[in-house]
Chains A and B, each alone.
Chain A
Amino acid sequence: MDLSIASILMLDGVTNGAIYALLALATVLVFAVTRVIFIPQGEFVAFGALTLGMLQLGQTPGTIWFLLLMAVLVAVLDLVAGLRQGRPLTRVLGGVLKAAAFPVLIALFALWAAPQKFPLLVQAGLTLALVTPMGPLLYRLAYQPLADATVLVLLIVSVGVHFALTGLGLAFFGAEGFRTPAFWDASFAAGPLMLSGQTLIIFAASIALIISLWLFFERSLYGKALRATAVNRLGARLMGISSTTAGRLTFTMAAFMGALSGLLIAPTTTIFYDSGFLIGLKGFVAAVFAGLASYPGAALGAILVGLLESFSSFYASSYKEVIVFTFILLVLLWRSLRDPHSEEE
């Protein structure tokens, strides 16, 4: 290996690492606020990439119907729950409409827009608008009824959700893979490196998102409310921060970050309905690196995972995944030596 190959591999690794970083941050965020180990994070990646892929072909992606279905289910559940609690019908209906309005409107708009073959950027925006509302709906359907369950039960729920979403992905998008065009077709030479426009967009998007996350947590009231919930759920609730709202907000952010990662990664590799799982798990390895607790640690871990992956695909391409997933064991060893005491739940 000479320096030019090494630098190409480095660039490749850091590029993928930037995407894994988004997923790792989302994983840490979801765990900190809701104690959910969110295995299905990767499914949002696949949903994002494949929805855009189908829009590109002028087809109507199944995610639209899925969004509508989830919105209707949530509306029915909220209606039933509201009436059972004996709240006035108008208020219950008002709440239901407020929650369902955006998903239904965006789904209806997407139904009209799908065959129109709008420009790529519009379709990307539409994709984000379609996948992001799935986050809070999913939280309402799967996790909210079990919000006080143990981490173990929430984890098992997560694998159930992962199963269901993967199967639905197959139903919506079929077994064929999609690869979307790059957002920016330029390329730049920097010494031995060829920087593609897509690579630059990945870096720019990841950095922008990390900065806006930082601003959100440091400067906004909602961000501080989420941090409070992460530190102490009961205490936050006593301060008037609803843990349900915190959960829905967190899942909204997670879905958005997942879908965005999907849009960023789709031009660089072919995405299938089940690709999200492995991509999400790599974000996971990075999150575990940070003990599911530290955001900068997760980002650093993600870059490491990306580098490890690109170098191992050069040396032993068929064992790439083995190497990446065995790395988690070394990470766990390091963590258990560094912080050996077990904590009580």
Chain B
Amino acid sequence: MFNTRKIFPLAALALLAVLPQLPVPEFWITQLNYIGLYAMVSLGLVLLTGIGGLTSFGQAAFVGVGAYTTAVLSTRFGISPWLALGVGIVLTVAVALVLAWLTLRMSGHYLPLATIAWGLSLNYLMGNMEFLGKYDGIQGIPPLEVFGISLNAGRSIYYLIWAFAVLAAIGVSNLLDSRPGRAIRALNGGVTMAEAMGVSTFRYKVVIFVLAAILAAVSGWLYAHFQRSVNPSPFGIKLGIEYLFMAVIGGVGGVWGAFTGAAVVKIVEDQLQTLLPKLMGASGNFEIIVFGVALVLVLQYAPKGLWPAIARWFPAGPRLRDWGGAPPLESRSKPRPGELLLEVDKVRKEFGGLVAVNDVSFQIRAGEIVGLIGPNGAGKSTTFNLITGVLGLTSGQVQFRGEAVGGLASRLIARRGMSRTFQHVKMIADMTVLENVALGGYLRSHAGAARAMLRLDRAEEKRLFAEAERQLQRIGMAGQMHELAGNLALGPQRLMEIARALCTDPALLLLDEPAAGLRHKEKQALAEVLRQLKREGMSILLVEHDMDFVMGLTDRLVVMEFGTKLIEGTPADVQASPEVRAAYLGTEH
């Protein structure tokens, strides 16, 4: 048990706890207080930017909401700061929800633009409203009290600041290693895969933005009672950008990057603020030149920031296998063999004037493997995307298990038991194979962000991992479950996608070119896996190029050419068909 992974955090925590009792100069206690406050805000940005692929320049404004709320309520109305914290959080959440609702359904860059505008607007409001003390701000904020102890000195509020900071870090760490955490990690780099696993990506974008805003507001509340006064300047757009800078320089990919970044930026900023004006012979915020250039250089040369270099000293071991004997996840009722499963009825897709899929119809019955083949550009993948809801139908209908699913969002179709893989593997490269497959169990589990942060989701997590391991065993990949998905070769990555799709407990499995790019042996292994799935009663729709692969595997084939269905029949019928030969090889003249 005595590994550096366990000892280091405990030692750091112990050092944090005794530090104010040691004869450390007041200056460094103040620095540490600021670092704790800043780290909380940049922690939110790590979640938002590094994990979720969104960003915000308005975090300083949320800090301001937390600070001003408690300043006004505690000085003007004598309301308890703890109540004011609640009010501040409610206000913050309301603002964050409005901004999220306005921007998050559009491309990712509208959120940061909206947060710039929001940050500027709020700053001008603070500076111009009589009620908020204009540019002078509000003075005489009472100190916080905990159990009757007044936290009126830097050394005493230190404990509260760091208690919040450490709890926030633990909460976010817990969140990232959980069902909602995997969904959040799937946001970065496109939403199609997450949606296909049943994740409402919009909802999780909102969740992380609101969480980041709450962290900022709590930091602001602590700041107000630490400084005992507020004015608009620390909540402006400059600080908003600096918080992002902290997250990026520290390492936007993990929780501890936020702390590294906050510490480095705060300490360097102090040095620069005394050094640079002397150097330039004038007063001013010259440190922003250094920060700006450093930010660009970090993104160019070390986009993962400083933390990964530190983290190398504390290598993470494999996940402890603690899910033995966990009860299985609930599974859906399976269709009876031969039952009509999927009915594609004259589906059509037009892109402008181009008809990509032209009134294609076919059916799949439970227990069948159906292949969808055709030359390049025949519209196979588009048909696939129409069935799974990734693309909208121009006309036509899709019935799945007797229910019309045409026009539904792909996550709603996934909920009904249709699961798919992708032509170009879509995975979370920095998660292990096991975690990637566990994402497939998203719809069969329920834990939300709050339960995950409080670690109340462990029983369900065990069931998820047990299921993920079972699916990996099913396709013969259990030996690689602790590998990072990004380190796998293409063949195993495709198999992993199949395991992930199986983890959703599908009634129909749709595989988009599963054999593309595989070596001969890998193709044979894949074919064996698919045969085994068929023996177990799985129904499969397969888009494929490789004729040998398809002919030996499928019950029926649907051949497409130029967006139109050419012929449908058994592999033997299709092989004998002159039309198919013409489509693939051309005709003799």
Contacts and interface: CB of A to CB of B under 8 A. Distances in A.
Interface of A: 37, 39, 141-142, 145-146, 149-153, 155-157, 159-168, 170-171, 174-175, 278, 281, 284-285, 288, 292, 318-319, 321-322, 325-326, 328-329, 332-333, 335-336, 339-345
A340 B105 contact: yes
Contact of A162 (B99, B108, B284, B292): B292
Contacts of B303: 153
Q: Which 5 pairs from chain A and chain B are nearest by CB?
A: A164-B292, A163-B292, A160-B295, A167-B289, A167-B288
Given A164-B289, A326-B117, A146 B300 contact: yes
A160 B292 contact: yes
A343 B285 CA distance: 39
B241 A159 contact: yes
A329 B241 contact: no
A171 B293 CA distance: 15
B120 A167 contact: no
- Interface size, B (range): 35 or more
Nearest to B109: A151
Contact of A159 (B53, B124, B244): B244
Given A153-B303, A288-B113, A326-B121, A160 B296 contact: yes
A74 to B, nearest CB: 14
B244 A156 contact: yes
B245 to A, nearest CB: 8
Contacts of B106: 332, 335-336, 339-340, 342
A342 B295 contact: no
B275 interface: no
A314 B288 CA distance: 35
Contacts of B273: none
Contact of A167 (B55, B118, B286): B286
A152 B292 CA distance: 16
9 contacts: A141-B296, A153-B299, A166-B292, A167-B285, A170-B286, A325-B118, A329-B98, A329-B114, A344-B190
A270 B406 CA distance: 60
Given A166-B288, A345-B108, 15 more contacts: A156-B55, A160-B291, A163-B241, A163-B288, A166-B292, A319-B125, A321-B121, A328-B117, A329-B114, A329-B117, A332-B102, A332-B113, A335-B110, A336-B103, A344-B192
B295 A156 contact: yes
Contacts of A292: 109
B158 interface: no
A151 B288 CA distance: 23
Main secondary structure of the interface of A (DSSP, over half): helix
B109 A155 contact: yes
A328 B113 contact: yes
B295 to A, nearest CB: 3
Contacts of A284: 113
B201 to A, nearest CB: 8
Interface string B80-120: 00000000000000000011001111111110111011101
A164 B118 CA distance: 22
A321 B288 contact: no
B284 A157 contact: no
Nearest to B392: A341
Contacts of A342: 104-107, 191, 202
B295 A328 contact: no
Interface of B: 49, 53-55, 57, 98-99, 102-110, 112-114, 116-118, 120-121, 124-125, 128, 190-192, 202, 241, 244-245, 248, 280, 282, 284-296, 299-300, 303
Contacts of A344: 190-192
B292 A167 contact: yes
A282 to B, nearest CB: 10
Contacts of A281: 116-117, 120
B191 A322 contact: no
Given A152-B54, A335-B106, A336-B102, A175 B296 contact: no
B190 A155 contact: no
Given A319-B124, A321-B120, A321-B121, A155 B292 contact: no
A285 B202 CA distance: 24
A53 B116 CA distance: 29
A284 B110 CA distance: 11
B258 to A, nearest CB: 15
B109 A152 contact: yes
Select the residue from B57, B98, B116 with max chain A CB neighbours within 10 A.
Answer: B116
Select the residue from A149, A292, A342 with max chain B CB neighbours within 10 A.
Answer: A342
Contact of B284 (A155, A175, A329): A175
A333 B114 CA distance: 11
Select the residue from A161, A162, A332, A336 with max chain B CB neighbours within 10 A.
Answer: A332
B418 to A, nearest CB: 20
A103 B53 CA distance: 38
Contacts of B128: 318-319, 322
A328 B116 CA distance: 10
Contacts of B245: 160, 163
Select the residue from B286, B287, B300 with max chain A CB neighbours within 10 A.
Answer: B300
B169 to A, nearest CB: 23
Contacts of B282: 171, 174-175
Select the residue from B104, B109, B116 with max chain A CB neighbours within 10 A.
Answer: B109
Nearest to A142: B296
A168 B248 contact: no
A117 to B, nearest CB: 25
A17 B312 CA distance: 53
A18 B279 CA distance: 41
A163 B102 contact: no
Contacts of B116: 39, 281
Given A159-B295, A163-B241, A322 B124 contact: yes
Contacts of A166: 288, 292
B535 to A, nearest CB: 37
B292 A165 contact: yes
A162 B108 CA distance: 20
A81 to B, nearest CB: 13
A288 B103 CA distance: 12
B215 to A, nearest CB: 19
A76 to B, nearest CB: 15
Given A152-B54, A161-B296, A345 B285 contact: no
Contacts of A167: 284-290, 292
A161 B295 CA distance: 8
Nearest to A160: B295
Given A159-B244, A336-B102, A325 B191 contact: no
A224 B51 CA distance: 38
A247 to B, nearest CB: 15
A333 B102 contact: yes
A146 B299 CA distance: 8
Contact of B55 (A155, A165, A335): A155
